[in-house]
Structure 1
Amino acid sequence: MNQHLRQEPVAFIDVHAQRRRLGASIDDAVGRVLTHCQFINGPEVTQLESDLAKFSGAKHVVACASGTDALLMVLMAKNVGPGDAVICPSFTFCATGEVVALTGATPVFVDVDETSFNINIDSLKRGIAAAKKLGLKPKAVIPVDLFGQSADHDAIAAVAAAEGLFILDDAAQSFGATYKGRRLGTFGLATATSFFPAKPLGCFGDGGAIFTDDAELADALRSVRVHGQGNEKYDNVRIGLTARLDTMQAAILIEKLKIFEDEIVARNVVAQRYFDALHNLVIAPRVADGNLSVWAQYTIRLPKDGPGRDAFAAALKAQGIPTAIYYPKSMHQQTAYKHYPVAEGGLPVSEKLSEEVISLPMHAYLDQPTQERVIKAVRDALGA
């Protein structure tokens, strides 16, 4: 039996285990939608928005079709466009800068901190200066709470206030995390998140949400979400999108949110096991004092005197253990974004991280025996 288990591939993110735990509750939730047939803007969407507001502490929640739409909708509602600059970290998923480019504004890429992987405050300041030198108007900053850990929101807020920028927090990977005891969703003007299936809180397709305490912004977002609709269905008062969250996905998320706090605790147990076993062998991620991560990914950096990243990944794969690289190219290195400006002094940390990082299996259902197998494979690959 043990020999058979060793041969089974390990799940990188195990959505099947969560599905088994939720059991009939998901089937029943979907069944209720199939019964009432309100597939667009059904009652579950409103209920989910209310549940998410209670969970996060935000006054207003606007559910939408994806995390990318969540970011884009805020920029559209704030009339960001040509001539404006939006400051973004480069070491992140492309959607962070993509939404800026889609509005016609200019993303200005800045560097990240080597320990937290989140936006570097000095580079943020240099990015704002670079935008001004180019004749652009710095309008906003999009910090990213990468891999599940919050960025330094106090420091970001201070820079934004001094420069007159609004903050759109990209919490696509970190909904449920806390910064100094407060859950994400209440920092800056607005917070965007994603419910992509692999996220800590994920649905069974695409989905997202925006959190804000600004009632006027929330009203504008609800308009943008449905083609820029005004008080009358066919009086569109602004350019908008088709960015509604399907009722069925809302129904699924309502059930998943009920167990989310328990899953966050479990993810932190898994992360602590990894740290205890590996921090002397690799550069292990560290959470800033006062923060709580939701560990969307467990991302390590390999020692310089060890095997290369490709060899390390191949050694784990041979043992049935998957890895992933987030991100082999930072945004400013990618074909579609190479021509956009970067902070003065360049982005050396982002470039370094893109060459060094690799992520290990991480989810709330990674039991100790399976995790020990992953840890042993890491140790073996490093010759430890």
Structure 2
Amino acid sequence: MPDMIPFIDLKAQRARLKSEMDRMIDKVLDEGRYILGPEVSELEEKLSEFNGVGRALSCANGTDAILIPLMAWGVGPGDAVFVPSFTFAASAEVVVLAGATPVFVDVDPDTYNISVESLAAAIDATISGGELTPKAVIAVDLFGQPADYPRISELAKAHDLKLISDCAQGFGSTLNGRSALHWADVLTVSFYPAKPLGGYGDGGAVLCKDDALYAAMKSVRVHGEGADRYEYARIGLNSRLDTLQAAVLLSKLTIFAEEIQLRQKVADAYEAGFAQYVKKPKVISGAQSTWAQYTIEVEDRDGFRAQLSAAGVPTAVYYPIPLHLHEPYAGFPISPGGLPVTEEIAHRVVSLPMHPYLDGDQIGRIVAAVRSAT
């Protein structure tokens, strides 16, 4: 059996950055400021610069990054937050943790991002129902490409809703040359190791343009601190980013823009190699994806995955069961007409190896395996 190609190759990236990363980590160890050390503030500044708009606030993980603005806005019981069902649990989990109600929305059949039409129907139905107050929309930049923010933002503004860009997989993506924060109230990031910009442990960040919101979120991040460390202005979290993680991320950020372009080259090679054999990803017009995942659709997913595995090509499925079909989420409302696209694609999607360090031989093996299995 051939050697298995890495699905994500963090070792190759580590080898490239080893000297600089070791220097940064040693500096933190020598200074001994392991919580909110100077590297954390430096990372926040660099993230803002890279994003091109807004201020960045680091936190302990990508889940807290979404929860923090909800808490800062006071979203809670009796409020509705609209979120796609075809996503990772964190996108809806935070709504429940805040005490609010997630309303599940369908996705676009081509981009897999939130469907504006389904969102509009869900908002109207929630208003007509009269039991919940619409408060926010969480648009997920699934697999690394931005959602249709111009249309989503227009709809959110029409109903006075806050708009969160769940950019856990898509930090660094752009739409018409702009970050999602150009349209959204906040943009949230995950530094989970498998993400395009990943640390060596958990971490996250939330970016915003409003100074008052930034101050409230900063308070929420550290136990609801007020003007003094032991004055509490609100209920908060313990969600600080470790200084060692900030050092790792500062090193990785120096090559992040280049890695996005390397991922794009892999995506281009895949499209040229097997686009006519499978349903390939469709990127919204004017967008640059970070290609967190390269996700296709096939008819016989189990058979397809078995054949690729035999050829030494790993695959993964994101996400086999939509959130609204999991027991903890089954009782929450869904958009009128159901979520037919979400339920259909959950049986067909499969993701292929995607990282900046796939070489020509590996890409050739992957292309050949896909073509042979379809």
Both structures adopt the same fold (TM-score exceeding 0.5): yes
**Distance in 2 of aligned mates of 1:278 and 1:117:** 20
Pick one of 42, 50, 55 that aligns with 1:60: 55
Residue equivalent to 1:265 = 261
Aligned mates of 1:134, 1:127 — CA distance in 2: 13
Q: Contact 1:186 / 1:212 at 8 angstroms: preserved in 2?
A: no
Runs of 4+ in 1 over 6 A off after TM superposition: none
Q: Which SS does the other structure have where 1:13 is aligned?
A: coil
- Specify the SS of the correspondent of 1:18: helix
**Pick from 99, 104, 127: which aligns with 1:109?**
104
- Residue 225 of structure 1 aligns with which residue? 221
Deviation at 1:183, TM superposition (A): 2.5
Structure 1 residues 93-143: Cα deviation after superposition (integer angstroms, max 9, x where no partner): 110000000011000000000011001011001111232215100000000
Structure 1 contact 108–127 (Cα < 8 Å) conserved: yes
Following the alignment from structure 2 to structure 1, what is the Cα–Cα distance between the partners of residues 290 and 274?
A: 19
Instruction: Identify which of 180, 186, 194 aligns with 2:182.
Output: 186
* Larger deviation, residues 105-114 vs 131-140: 131-140
Does residue 367 of the first structure (1) align with residue 359 of the second (2)? Answer: yes
Number of aligned pairs? Answer: 373
How many angstroms apart in 2 are the aligned matches of 1:122 and 1:59? Answer: 29
Matching residue's letter, 1:354: A
Pick the aligned partner of 1:42 from 37, 40, 50.
Answer: 37
CA RMSD of the aligned region, Å?
1.0
CA–CA distance in 1 between the matches of 2:307 and 2:353? 15
Distance 1:188 1:299 in 2: 25
Between the aligned partners of 1:108 and 1:168, the Cα distance in structure 2 is 15
Task: Give TM-score, length-normalised by structure 2.
Answer: 0.98
Q: How far off is 1:235 after superposition?
A: 1.1
**Offset, 1:322:** 0.8
What amino acid is the match of 1:238?
R
Selected match of 1:79 from 74, 78, 89: 74
State the percentage of identical aligned residues: 49
CA deviation after TM superposition for structure 1 residue 311, in Å: 1.0
Equivalent of 1:26, from 21, 36, 40? Answer: 21
- In the alignment, what sits opposite 1:156? 152
Checking the alignment, whether the CA contact within 8 Å between 2:54 and 2:181 is kept in structure 1 is: no
After TM superposition, the structure 1 = structure 2 runs for residues 162-173 of structure 1, keeping only pairs within 5 Å, are: 162-173=158-169
Which structure 2 segments of 5+ residues have no match? none
User: Which residue of 1 is the match for residue 349 of structure 2?
Assistant: 357
**Corresponding residue number in structure 1 for 2:91:** 96
Match of 2:132 in 1: 136
> In 2, distance between residues paired with 1:315 and 1:358?
13
Which residue of structure 2 lines up, in the alignment, with residue 3 of structure 1? none
> Cα distance, 1:7 vs. partner?
2.2
Conserved? CA contact 2:149–2:180, under 8 Å: no
Letter in 2 for 1:232: D
Separation of aligned partners in 2, 1:231 and 1:9: 54
Maintained 8 Å contact 1:157/1:167 = yes
Report the 3-state secondary structure (helix = DSSP H, G, I; strand = E; otherwise coil) of the residue aligned with 1:259: helix
**Cα distance in 1 for residues equivalent to 2:317 and 2:25:** 34
Distance in 1, matches of 2:11 and 2:126, equals 46
Distance (Å, rounded) in 2 between the aligned partners of 1:64 and 1:167: 20
**Contact kept? 1:301, 1:356, Cα under 8 Å:** yes
Are the equivalent residues in 2 in contact too, given 1:86–1:106 (CA < 8 A)? Answer: yes
Confirm or deny that 1:209 pairs with 2:201.
no
Counterpart selection for 2:329 from 326, 337, 342: 337
1:313 aligns with 2:308: no
- 1:266-281, aligned counterparts within 5 Å? 266-281=262-277
2:107·2:113 contact (CA, 8 Å) conserved in 1? yes
- 1: distance between equivalents of 2:334 and 2:235? 30
SS in 2 for 1:256: helix
TM-score by structure 1 length?
Answer: 0.96
Q: How far apart in 1 are the matches of 2:138 and 2:210?
A: 17
CA-to-partner distance for each residue in 1:208-245, whole Å, 9 max, x for gaps?
10111100011111100100001111111100000000
Cα pair 1:130 1:341 within 8 Å, conserved? no
- Paired with 1:195 and 1:96, the residues of 2 have a C-alpha distance of 15
Retained in 2: the 8 A contact 1:141–1:165? yes
Q: Which amino acid aligns with 2:131?
A: G
How far the C-alpha of 1:319 sits from its partner, in A, is 1.7
- Matching of residue 323 in structure 1 with residue 315 in structure 2: yes
Q: SS where residue 182 of structure 1 aligns?
A: coil
Is contact 2:136–2:164 with CA below 8 Å preserved after alignment? yes
Query: Aligned letter for 1:312?
Result: F
Structure 2: which amino acid aligns with 1:246?
Answer: D
**DSSP-derived class of the 1:169 partner:** strand
Amino acid at match of 2:285: D
Q: Name the CA distance, whole Å, in 1 between partners of 2:263 and 2:287.
A: 14
Q: Kindly indicate whether residue 293 of structure 2 is the aligned counterpart of residue 301 of structure 1.
A: no
Q: Is the 8 A contact 2:197 2:253 kept in 1?
A: yes
3-state SS of paired residue (1:274) = helix
- The residue type equivalent to 1:150 in the other structure is P
Q: Which amino acid aligns with 2:229?
A: K
1:32 counterpart SS class: helix
